[in-house]
Amino acid sequence: MKQFEQAIVRIPCDRFPEGITPGSLGKADVASARKQHQAYIETLKACGVKVTVLEAENDFPDSCFVEDPAIVTDRVAIITRFGAASRSGETPLILPAITAVYGDHIETIQAPGTVEGGDICQVGEHFFIGLSLRTNDEGARQLGEILKKYGFTSSTIDIRKYKTVLHLKTGMSYLGNDTFIVMPEIMDEPELKKYTKLVVTPEESYAANCIRVNDFVIIPAGFTNAIAQVEGAGFKTLPLEMSEFRKQDGGLSCLSLRIPELHFASQ
Ligand code: CIR
C-alpha cells in the first residue's frame, strides 16, 4: 500500500543535546544521533518515500523533531503553535519546506491555541487530537474546525493525566488494519475501544511510538517483545536504533513529516 509519497526531515544540529525535556538516559551524542538519523532517512527511502533533507539549525536544538511544527494531510498543511514557548521559532523555520509542497493550501493555529504535531494521530479520515501539556483545549478546537473544513473528523484524547507521556503519539501509534500499538496506560482509552490494540510491556513503552510507512512498520530496535507483537499481527517491521533521540524524549514519528499523495480542492 502506497500511503506516503514524500517526507521532510531535518539533520540534528550541534546543539541537539541542549534540547528541552531531556530524560534520565544521559547526554545525547551528536555524531551518533546523525548516524541514526542517516539510517532513518535511508529506511524511509527503502519504504518508497522521497525524502527532503533540511539543513541543521543550530539556533534550535530540538529542530530535528520536525513533526511538531506542522500537521500534513493530503489536502492541507497546518502550521502549529508550540506549547513549548522555547520551540516557537521552529514554525517559521519549517514554513518554506511546507510552502514548497502545499503552496497556499496552508492553515495556521492562532494564539491562544497551542498544538504540537506529536499530539496528532491520523486514522484514515479521522484525527485523534491529544490534549497534553503542549496542546491545549483552544488549539484542539481550532484544529478540529480546520480539519472539518477540509472534510476530516476529529476527537480528543486527554493525556494530561499520564505524567510520563509527552505527546499523544508517545503513547500510541496507528499501524493500519484497525490496529494500534499502545502503552499500557492508554489501552483502556474509550476512543480506542473499537480497535485492536497491541500493548507494549511497561519496560518497552518507548516502542509505542512507531511509524507505518507504506508496506512497513518502522520500530525502535531492541524492543523484542513489541517487535514480536507487531510481526505477529502480520506487519513487516524495520527496526532502527534510536538511543540518542530517546535521550531527548523524541521518537520515530517526531523525526519526519510524512506526506501522502496530494489532492487539493479546486478553488
Ligand atoms: C521536546 O520536548 O519538545 C523535544 N525534546 C522532544 C519532542 C518530541 N516530539 C514528538 O514527540 N513529536
Atom of ligand 1 lying closest to residue 119 CA? 12
Q: Could you count the other beta carbons within 10 Å of the beta carbon of residue 125?
A: 13
Question: 91 CA distance to ligand 1 centroid (A)?
Answer: 14
- The domain that holds 157 is classified in CATH as 3.75.10.10
139 Cβ contact partners less than 8 Å away, ≥ 6 residues apart: 80, 81, 83, 109, 113, 114, 115
As for how many domains the chain has, the answer is 1
User: Is residue 61 a contact partner of residue 17, using CB atoms and an 8 Å limit?
Assistant: yes
Q: Is residue 132 part of a domain?
A: yes
CA distance 114 to 3: 28
Q: Does residue 170 line the site of ligand 1, with CB under 6 A?
A: yes
Question: 267 CA distance to ligand 1 centroid (A)?
Answer: 36
Task: For a ligand 1 pocket test, name from 87, 173, 248 the mutation site with the most ligand atoms within 8 angstroms of its C-beta.
Answer: 248
Query: Which one of 13, 64, 167, 210 is the catalytic residue?
Result: 167
Task: For a ligand 1 pocket test, name from 166, 206, 254 the mutation site with the most ligand atoms within 8 angstroms of its C-beta.
Answer: 166
pLDDT at 1: 63
Q: Is residue 67 part of a domain?
A: yes
Give the pLDDT confidence of 137-194 residue by residue, as tens digits: 999 999 999 999 999 999 999 999 988 899 999 999 999 999 999 999 999 999 999 9
Atom of ligand 1 lying closest to residue 67 CA? 12
Q: Is residue 180 part of a domain?
A: no
Q: Does residue 166 line the site of ligand 1, with CB under 6 A?
A: yes
Q: Is residue 22 part of a domain?
A: yes
pLDDT at 163: 82
Q: Is residue 240 part of a domain?
A: no
Q: Is residue 121 part of a domain?
A: yes
Q: Is 105 a catalytic residue?
A: no
Q: Is 167 a catalytic residue?
A: yes
Instruction: Note down the domain range covering 84.
Output: 6-168+245-259
- The helix or strand, by DSSP H or E, that contains position 262, with its residue range, turns out to be none
Q: Is residue 101 part of a domain?
A: yes
Q: Does residue 19 line the site of ligand 1, with CB under 6 A?
A: yes
- Entry pTM: 0.97
Task: For a ligand 1 pocket test, name from 15, 18, 21, 88 the mutation site with the most ligand atoms within 8 angstroms of its C-beta.
Answer: 21
Atom of ligand 1 lying closest to residue 22 CA? 5
Q: Does residue 171 line the site of ligand 1, with CB under 6 A?
A: no
Output the tens digit of pLDDT for each of the chain's 267 residues: 679 999 999 999 999 999 997 778 999 999 999 999 999 999 999 999 999 999 999 999 999 999 999 999 999 999 999 999 999 999 999 999 999 999 999 999 999 999 999 999 999 999 999 999 999 999 999 999 999 999 999 999 999 998 889 999 999 999 999 999 999 999 999 999 999 999 999 999 999 999 999 999 999 999 999 999 999 999 999 999 999 999 999 999 999 999 999 999 875
Q: Is residue 189 part of a domain?
A: no
Q: The C-alpha cell of 43 is what?
A: 529506511
User: Is residue 144 a contact partner of residue 135, using CB atoms and an 8 Å limit?
Assistant: no
